[in-house]
Homo-oligomer: A and B are copies of this chain.
Amino acid sequence: MHILVLGAAGMVGRKFLERVAADGHIGGREVRMATLHDVVMPSAPAGATFACDCRASDFAMAGESARLIAGRPDLIVHLAAIVSGEAEADFEKGYRINLDGTRELFEAIRLAGGGYRPRVVFTSSIAVFGAPFHPKIADEFHLTPLTSYGTQKAIGELLLSDYSRRGFFDGIGIRLPTICVRPGTPNKAASGFFSNIIREPLAGREAVLPVSEDVRHWHASPRSAVGFLMHAATMDLSALGARRNLSMPGLSCTVGEQIAALERVAGPRVTARIQRKPDATIQGIVAGWPRDLDPQRAIALGFKAESSFDEIIKVHIADELNGSFAA
């Protein structure tokens, strides 16, 4: 099969491609060709036995989507997006990439002709939900995003459903939890501290906690995110009916529970590296975020995430730190 990954240079894209390279197949179908695209040049995954066509461009540019699907990929994994903070800071750029880019891609598929009907896996986000919430956000809860990013993702979901219903492609949208523990260096995203307070202490460095320990949030590991993509790429989509967008499973826990898990897994010398420096701005932003979901449909359809934060930490130590940490 031929796959196209948009957003292939991002963290989730790279991990998905590493998994594909390791497996050599997706759902039993051998991968013979991968088109990897991002705004910066993506790298072919190490050990890939399939040909990789790596491209860097602005995918919302006129005609670009048509060029990207010219090889008629069987599976399109659409991870490309301007992230939340940037889409809020730059209104036009967010709409151009996240809405127009997504629509151009869907239009290119529709207009390709010749019976072309690929599977499209679209990553949405819990940012489609906006407070006030119920304690657990149910599958039938309405989408009232409080950011332009969340708005653009919700529109992408609606388009994906309509294009799928029309038979232009076979689409599934998956709303990812916050990915934790995010590898790499601390960034300035308001959500960064959820990962920073685990990753940095495990690396022997101090981390800042800007919110109180009773803040509750919704997490899944990078490994689970790749698992969601794989399952979305291979499952029988007829089970979805007309409702093509699903909240993914995750783990709801408080920051205090994150820290307790870190102490169980790595000991008190590690958790002592967390510095509490309350930041009213970040507290305010985080207050509007989903805390817990009840993703019954996705669970019934076979999507799986971690069941404890201890497990999320152990996945990070195994996948990113070769099994060891700075005790």
Contact = CB atoms under 8 A, between A and B. Distances in A.
B145 A142 contact: no
A165 interface: yes
Contacts of A161: 144-145, 151
Interface in A122-168: 130, 139-146, 148, 151, 154-155, 158-159, 161-162, 165-166
Nearest to A154: B158
A41 interface: no
A155 B162 CA distance: 11
A1 interface: no
Contact of A142 (B140, B159, B162, B166): B140
Contacts of A142: 139-143
Interface residues of A, number: 22
Most chain B CB within a 10 A radius of its CB, from A158, A161, A165: A158
Interface string A164-208: 011000000000000000000000000000000000000000000
Nearest to A151: B162
A154 to B, nearest CB: 5
A261 to B, nearest CB: 33
A91 B140 contact: no
A2 interface: no
A242 interface: yes
A72 interface: no
A139 B140 CA distance: 11
A26 B154 CA distance: 34
B143 A143 contact: yes
A304 interface: no
A15 interface: no
A151 B243 CA distance: 12
A139 B144 CA distance: 11
A144 B244 CA distance: 9
A130 B162 contact: no
Contacts of A146: 165, 242
Given A91-B166, A130-B242, A146-B242, A151 B140 contact: no
Contacts of A151: 158-159, 161-162
A174 to B, nearest CB: 16
A140 B165 CA distance: 24
Contacts of A154: 158
Contacts of A143: 142-143, 158
6 contacts: A91-B166, A140-B142, A141-B142, A146-B165, A148-B162, A155-B158
Interface of A: 91, 130, 139-146, 148, 151, 154-155, 158-159, 161-162, 165-166, 242-243
Q: Which 5 A-B pairs have the closest CB atoms?
A: A151-B162, A142-B142, A151-B158, A140-B142, A155-B155
Given A91-B166, A143-B158, A144-B242, 12 more contacts: A139-B142, A140-B141, A140-B142, A142-B142, A143-B143, A145-B162, A148-B162, A148-B166, A151-B159, A154-B158, A155-B155, A155-B159
